[in-house]
């Protein structure tokens, strides 16, 4: 949480000198105050500068940014943040002479700081043309040399994350395209992974609203009707370079952001007569199943929210037009008529023809006793279950990872059987994680050892034909809570399971955006028999790129948009 020092705490004793050009101490260039290092060489000393106010952020940040004509040294910044009393007569575009003490304001946990001036005397200075705005055609080699300066970014900036927009008025953007989770592309602990991590830090920039207010409601640089999607591109972004809160560089915008028209993807199309989907429903809890029982443990807080959530999920599942779907984060409340899975299937079937009716796999209980579970639904007119469903209730499945559910199917009476396995591995959250499951600081989060053991046991289980169907064709689907190059997925690869998206030749698939980084927690893994039947694979990017407020608990944009926090995936096979 951001903590802004109050103006009283700052004890700004600004002399209210008449607005006239004044004589006084010798004026030095702002570049001398900034110096070429991380901290000012004049820290703690009193100095006098002259500069034009480029941004008056006293209401939000307790000060103004001023910039002078420059000292002709590219290693030093020509601007500085000045803590200035709101009572002082100052406005953007005004030239001021300021005498004050040089400070280093803390800007992160790793010792970063923002060079600033605590104003003591402020008078009007001789008016002159404003210094030119610095234009950036790419990532600057040294942000420190631009600290406090007004810049215009000519290079395109890709929106990489918007999770801090509602809370802090921030957007995460990046030069040169999206930012990827390093463990999506390279194994933890490798030089390649380290290079990706460093490159993300190099390319990342935050766009900010010039305020430390929490939950601002209106974000000053965005139009009220702005609709944002991660991956969209901004051009001509302008503001002052700042460094505060987390040590990262940010741009306090001085002009409204030009938001392009939103473009949303159509439902995916894949080849193959047999279509199998996977979808994390993000806590689908239906109360008591009769319109009451809200708020629930998770998910919708009211009946109206639940109805909006269900409408989005129905729009998503129908548009995928799958024959079988593995589902995650269903309320674990049995299989009776009031259960979440029964209610979902009823809603899916409402108003649909006989050839489009869904049924659900009834495991009798559970699987598992976690508040959420996996489930499998299928088109009864297209596929038929072969034998009974089976579950793997063996630790770490149960108390930690959700229990997997497997069901064999065939298309028609003579189709070759195939096994669908719904999975949801232990999340990366660190509650109660100890020993090997504690965060190893390698980018894989907590409970990685448990997820690896889950992957190993899952593969061994499937090799024993637990469904008794005799099928040698199987697909593992679901939320594995591991990115594509993390240990659990690598374990499954080592055991012979193949990434369906690599088999299908899909370039850089993704299903989840977290903290401004894109990757996959949701996977489709095939054994050799099922890989031979694969005809296509696609993700439908309706959720990961959408703003939270587009969902049912926010603006509730009509349609499938932000029906969950994970994107659904769709596979096509020969039947």
Tell me the CATH number at 458: 3.60.10.10
Are residues 203 and 294 located together in one domain of the fold? no
Q: Is 358 part of any domain?
A: yes
101/120 Cα distance (integer angstroms): 8
> Tens of pLDDT along 399-413?
889 999 999 999 988
Would you say residue 541 has pLDDT above 70? yes
Q: CB of 296 within 8 A of CB of 289?
A: no
Among residues of the chain, what percentage have pLDDT more than 90?
A: 91
Q: Is 266 part of any domain?
A: no
Q: CB of 206 within 8 A of CB of 250?
A: yes
Q: What is the mean pLDDT of the chain?
A: 94
Tell me the CATH number at 64: 2.40.50.140
Q: Is 76 part of any domain?
A: yes
Are residues 165 and 123 located together in one domain of the fold? no
- Enter the tokens of residue 560: 């499938």
Q: CB of 402 within 8 A of CB of 372?
A: yes
Are residues 35 and 176 located together in one domain of the fold? no
Are residues 530 and 562 located together in one domain of the fold? yes
Among residues of the chain, what percentage have pLDDT more than 70?
A: 96
342/295 Cα distance (integer angstroms): 19
For residue 24, what pLDDT is reported? 66
Would you say residue 7 has pLDDT above 50? no
Are residues 109 and 191 located together in one domain of the fold? no
For the chain, what is the domain count? Answer: 3
Are residues 423 and 452 located together in one domain of the fold? yes
Are residues 428 and 549 located together in one domain of the fold? yes
> Tens of pLDDT along 233-245?
999 999 999 999 9
Are residues 77 and 199 located together in one domain of the fold? no
Distances from the Cα of 361 to the Cα of 289, 339, 365, 408, 421, angstroms:
18, 13, 11, 10, 12
> Tens of pLDDT along 362-400?
999 999 999 999 999 999 999 999 999 999 999 999 888
Are residues 178 and 294 located together in one domain of the fold? no
Stated pTM of the model? 0.92
Are residues 241 and 309 located together in one domain of the fold? no
Q: Is 265 part of any domain?
A: no
Are residues 57 and 114 located together in one domain of the fold? yes
> Tens of pLDDT along 498-527?
999 999 999 999 999 999 999 999 999 999
User: CA dihedral in degrees (475, 477, 482, 487; nearest 10)?
Assistant: -20
Would you say residue 12 has pLDDT above 80? no
Instruction: Write down which residue in 104, 132, 160 finishes a domain.
Output: 132
- Per-residue pLDDT, averaged over 4-32, amounts to 56
* Band of pLDDT at residue 270, cut at 50, 70 and 90: very high
Q: Is 281 part of any domain?
A: yes
Are residues 346 and 437 located together in one domain of the fold? yes
For residue 40, the enclosing domain spans 7-132
């Amino acid at each position: 949480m951001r903590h802004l020092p109050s103006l009283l705490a700052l004890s700004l004793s600004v002399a209210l000198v008449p607005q006239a050009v004044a004589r006084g101490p010798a004026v030095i260039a702002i570049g001398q105050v900034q110096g070429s290092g991380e901290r000012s060489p004049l820290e703690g000393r009193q100095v006098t500068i002259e500069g034009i106010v480029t941004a008056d952020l006293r209401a939000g940040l307790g000060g103004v940014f001023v910039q002078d004509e420059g000292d002709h040294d590219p290693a030093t910044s020509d601007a500085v943040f000045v803590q200035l009393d709101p009572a002082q007569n100052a406005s953007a575009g005004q030239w001021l002479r300021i005498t004050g003490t040089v400070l280093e304001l803390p800007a992160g946990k790793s010792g970063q700081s923002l060079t600033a001036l605590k104003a003591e005397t402020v008078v009007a200075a001789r008016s002159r043309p404003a210094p030119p705005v610095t234009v950036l055609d790419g990532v600057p080699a040294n942000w420190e040399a631009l600290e406090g300066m007004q810049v215009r970014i000519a290079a395109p900036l890709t929106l990489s994350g918007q999770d801090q927009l509602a809370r802090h008025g921030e957007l995460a953007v990046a030069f040169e395209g999206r930012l990827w989770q390093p463990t999506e592309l390279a194994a933890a602990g490798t030089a390649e992974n380290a290079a990706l991590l460093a490159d993300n830090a190099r390319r990342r920039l935050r766009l900010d609203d010039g305020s430390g207010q929490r939950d601002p409601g209106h974000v000053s640089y965005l139009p009220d009707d702005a609709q944002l999607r991660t991956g969209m591109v901004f051009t001509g972004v302008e503001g002052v370079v700042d460094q505060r809160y987390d040590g990262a560089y940010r741009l306090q915008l001085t002009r409204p952001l030009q938001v392009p028209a939103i473009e949303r993807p159509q439902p995916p199309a894949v080849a193959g007569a047999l279509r199998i989907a996977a979808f994390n429903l993000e806590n689908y809890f239906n109360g008591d199943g009769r319109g009451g029982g809200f708020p629930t443990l998770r998910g919708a807080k009211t009946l109206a929210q639940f109805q909006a959530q269900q409408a989005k999920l129905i729009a998503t599942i129908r548009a995928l037009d799958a024959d079988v779907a593995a589902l995650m984060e269903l309320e674990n409340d049995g299989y009776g008529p009031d259960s979440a899975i029964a209610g979902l299937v009823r809603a899916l079937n409402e108003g649909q023809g006989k050839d489009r009716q869904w049924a659900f796999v009834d495991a009798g209980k559970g699987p598992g006793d976690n508040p959420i579970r996996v489930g499998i639904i299928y088109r009864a007119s297209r596929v038929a279950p072969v034998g009974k469903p089976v579950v793997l209730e063996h630790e770490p499945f149960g108390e930690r990872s959700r229990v997997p559910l497997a069901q064999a199917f065939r298309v028609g009476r003579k189709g070759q059987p195939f096994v669908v396995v719904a999975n949801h591995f232990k999340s990366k959250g660190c509650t109660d994680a100890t020993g090997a499951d504690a965060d190893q600081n390698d980018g894989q989060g907590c409970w990685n050892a448990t997820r690896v053991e889950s992957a190993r046991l899952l593969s061994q289980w499937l090799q024993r034909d637990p469904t008794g169907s005799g099928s040698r064709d199987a697909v593992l689907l679901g939320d594995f809570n591991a990115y594509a190059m993390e240990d659990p997925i690598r374990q499954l690869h080592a055991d012979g399971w193949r990434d369906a998206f690599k088999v299908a030749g899909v370039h850089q698939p993704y299903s989840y955006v977290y903290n401004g980084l894109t990757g996959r927690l949701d996977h489709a893994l095939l054994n050799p028999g099922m890989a031979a039947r694969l005809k296509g694979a696609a993700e439908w990017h309706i959720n990961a790129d959408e703003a939270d407020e587009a969902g049912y608990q926010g603006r509730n944009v009509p349609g499938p948009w932000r029906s969950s926090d994970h994107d659904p995936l769709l596979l096509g096979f020969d039947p």
